[in-house]
Structure 1
Amino acid sequence: MGGPPPPPQHSHARGGTREEAVARELAADVLAPAAGAVDATGVLPSGHLDALAAAGLYGLTGPRSSGGLGADVATVAAVVEELAAGDLATTFVWLQHLGVVVRVAAHGPPPVRARLADLCAGRLRAGIALQAAVRPGPPAIRVRPDGGDLVLDGAVPWVTGWGAVDVVLVAARHGDDVVLVLADAVEGPTLAVGSQRMVAVQASATVELRLAGHRVPADRLVHRAPLAGWLAADAATLRVNGSLALGLALRCTRLIGPSPLDGDLAAVRARLDAATPEELPDARAEAAALAHRAAGALVAATGSGAVRAGSDAERTAREAVFLLVFGSRPAIRASLLSRLGAAD
């Protein structure tokens, strides 16, 4: 059924910023060599996240005044792509943290902003629970004020990094508003989690979060915004998530060697970079479809070895399936179904 793919003959290095170079080195030296073991055991070594913190990458999106790197969107996207090429599970856990840093820096009141330096240094690590409160239908999670506390009730099906994060930024609904609350990631009588078994990135420790009368001090409120405004701004956040799919495609091109996929990757990257908020869902879908196609090409190039559980090709193919649905929106799903030939 064919032999293994040829050895990589090119590095795909694009120059870029110091942060991108640091990410490329970490991915090559720390993440990629252990990626197979991480996938097989379902356990993310704490040393992976510690290495990202030591390199300053937990503060990638943070303001320089708080010890962050103040990176622009292009730099963040390039760093995510390089890390995802090395190990998707590690990158998936770390990426959640960046969104919390951005929101705390932009909106956090003084008691929350006081923790920004610890967030940027990676001494305080964060996850997110944002989409359950804003998806169509009745709110999955609600918040109400009670004395000096905010009380949370409901369930969030996907919270990543449990056991590796200290706090979780929870989005909840109060009337027609979305309220962001920073809650401690500690189980107890009013906060419970259930493990989620996934096709890939099991080491990301993604759980279902259940809250029943869970109290958080009112000074942990990070931001409040009308639901309509939140939904209108959501598309602008999709660019960086697309770099996970680009990173997977980048891994495939490096393992396969020079091929037409190189040009496809550059074109999809350029389209994502240039997309307006209205164009981003379709560009995101194109990135996910490319990762899926590139993973298929890697399987074919690898040959019979690809059907062995634990091979790079087998793991990458499962991760490509995961990225077909990760961070999806109705417009992304519709575009993907069309690209994959399943739309009417």
Structure 2
Amino acid sequence: MTVPPHPLLTAARDLAARVLAPRAEDVDRDGVPVSSIEAVKRSGLLGITAPVADGGSAAPAAVVRETAEILAGACCSTWFVQTQHHTPVTMLARSGLPVRDRLLGPLARGELLSGVAYAQLRAHPRVPVRVTRERGGRRFDGRVPWYTGWGLNDVMLLAGVTDRDEVLFAFTEAREQPGLRPSPPMRLAALTASRTVSLELDGFWLPEEAVVLRAPYETWAVTDRPKNTNASPAVFGITAAAIGLLEDDPSARDTAQTLRARLDEVRRQAYELADHPVPTERVEERLVCKTRAYDVMRAATTAAVVAGGGRAMDLRSPAQRLAREGMFLLVQGQTPQVRAAHLGSLGSPGPASAVSR
């Protein structure tokens, strides 16, 4: 018997076919529209990892990964805005603090969309955002270098480091407020559409009940560091989309077939490693697999541009968009460990750096 697809995969494919893919070039040029975010909210995908009791789906990891592939392959900018939402949901689901009761349900049901402002924590021991106690709450000072979804998100998860070397995460509304000021939207080589800004924090105050997590930095980092050693599902989504363009071109179908086999192999290996029960183990294998995934993506997006010829330079062409989105994914969530592994593979004469393999 054929097992029916998971309902969330059906929802993701429907969203991609009806809304995301047809608008992708317009979105790339003009920005992610509110209408696309409203469609994401209605899809049920924002609660994909949330507990069922709180209005979510608690979907298996394989379903979560495949939905990410589908959305990223259809419109990487929209995927990138909505993917920020899942970390706040996960953190709330694990929290026993009062903010859980206030926000988890609305976030899981897609009534609210959350962004994140915590990448600066990975600059430790530098402290770009400092948190101190003030007036029975918490004061934030410093600069958040990247915040995606400004003007689209309803709330944000903001983080900093205390004078006790603790990480502290708290929720606030995603809007300009006293002590919180956004920059103009950044002009990026790819994903300018994601409405990314930096945030200046100058005495920004939040009440204690906004806090969702406080923990020693090293305790938090132990769980954070391994996350980015795994290959991102978005890389596989962009790769598959580029191969799809090649499959539609009779002159490129042999290339598409070869690349499809490489994609299937590295995707299988990547997800086997992601499912390993101890995320801090097999790190070197994870990094090798991650760089191989980049190799295949780079080969597929380059092939799509080559097959498109001069037409691929037109900003209405999906080939050039996918190539630029692929470039963005090379550095998205990058850590020093990932950067070193990737540069090592690119500088090596061995098979891991051979895009024609």
Q: Given the two structures, how large is their TM-score scaled by the length of structure 1?
A: 0.90
- Contact 2:230 / 2:286 at 8 angstroms: preserved in 1? no
Task: Report the Cα offset of residue 343 of structure 1.
Answer: 9.4
Q: 1:270 aligns with which of 268, 279, 289?
A: 268
Instruction: Indicate how the Cα distance of structure 1 residues 259 and 285 shifts in structure 2: closer, same or farther if over 3 A, else same.
Output: same
Determine if the alignment matches structure 1 residue 287 to structure 2 residue 293. yes
Q: 1:179 aligns with which of 168, 175, 181?
A: 168
Note the alpha carbon deviations across 1:198-257, whole angstroms, 9 max, x for none: 111111101101111100111011011221122221244337870111110010111111
Task: Report the Cα offset of residue 186 of structure 1.
Answer: 1.7
- Contact 1:282 / 1:332 at 8 angstroms: preserved in 2? no
**In the alignment, what sits opposite 1:329?**
335
**In the alignment, what sits opposite 1:156?**
144
- Contact 1:334 / 1:343 at 8 angstroms: preserved in 2? no
Count of residues in Structure 1 that have an aligned counterpart in Structure 2: 330
Residue 159 of structure 2 aligns to a residue whose secondary structure is strand
Task: Report the Cα offset of residue 47 of structure 1.
Answer: 1.8
- Contact 1:153 / 1:212 at 8 angstroms: preserved in 2? yes
Q: 2:9 aligns with which of 20, 39, 62?
A: 20
**In the alignment, what sits opposite 1:317?**
323
Task: Report the Cα offset of residue 282 of structure 1.
Answer: 3.6
Note the alpha carbon deviations across 1:24-83, whole angstroms, 9 max, x for none: 221122101100001111x21212121121121111111110110111222111100011
* Cα distance in 1 between the residues matched to 2:231 and 2:181: 27
**In the alignment, what sits opposite 1:218?**
208
Quote the sequence identity (%).
Answer: 34
Amino acid at match of 1:62: A
Instruction: Indicate how the Cα distance of structure 1 residues 343 and 103 shifts in structure 2: closer, same or farther if over 3 A, else same.
Output: farther
- Contact 2:228 / 2:334 at 8 angstroms: preserved in 1? no
1:53-64 alignment runs, 5 A limit = 53-64=41-52
1:223-242 alignment runs, 5 A limit = 223-238=213-228, 242=232
Note the alpha carbon deviations across 1:152-171, whole angstroms, 9 max, x for none: 11111111000011111112
Task: Report the Cα offset of residue 127 of structure 1.
Answer: 0.3
* Cα distance in 2 between the residues matched to 1:92 and 1:101: 16
Residue 84 of structure 2 aligns to a residue whose secondary structure is helix
Deviates most, 279-288 or 22-31: 279-288
CA RMSD, aligned part only? 2.1
Q: Which runs of 5+ in 2 are unaligned?
A: 248-255, 351-357
Q: Per chain length, whose mean CA-contact separation is higher, i.e. which structure has more relative contact order (CA < 8 Å, sep 6+)? A: 1
Deviates most, 176-185 or 203-212: 176-185
1:106-255 alignment runs, 5 A limit = 106-174=94-162, 175-194=164-183, 195-238=185-228, 242-255=232-245
* Cα distance in 1 between the residues matched to 2:272 and 2:85: 25
Task: Report the Cα offset of residue 309 of structure 1.
Answer: 2.6
* Cα distance in 1 between the residues matched to 2:14 and 2:171: 33
Residue 92 of structure 1 aligns to a residue whose secondary structure is helix
Amino acid at match of 2:182: V
* Cα distance in 1 between the residues matched to 2:119 and 2:91: 15
- Contact 1:238 / 1:284 at 8 angstroms: preserved in 2? no
Instruction: Indicate how the Cα distance of structure 1 residues 167 and 216 shifts in structure 2: closer, same or farther if over 3 A, else same.
Output: same
**In the alignment, what sits opposite 2:258?**
260
Q: Given the two structures, how large is their TM-score scaled by the length of structure 2?
A: 0.87
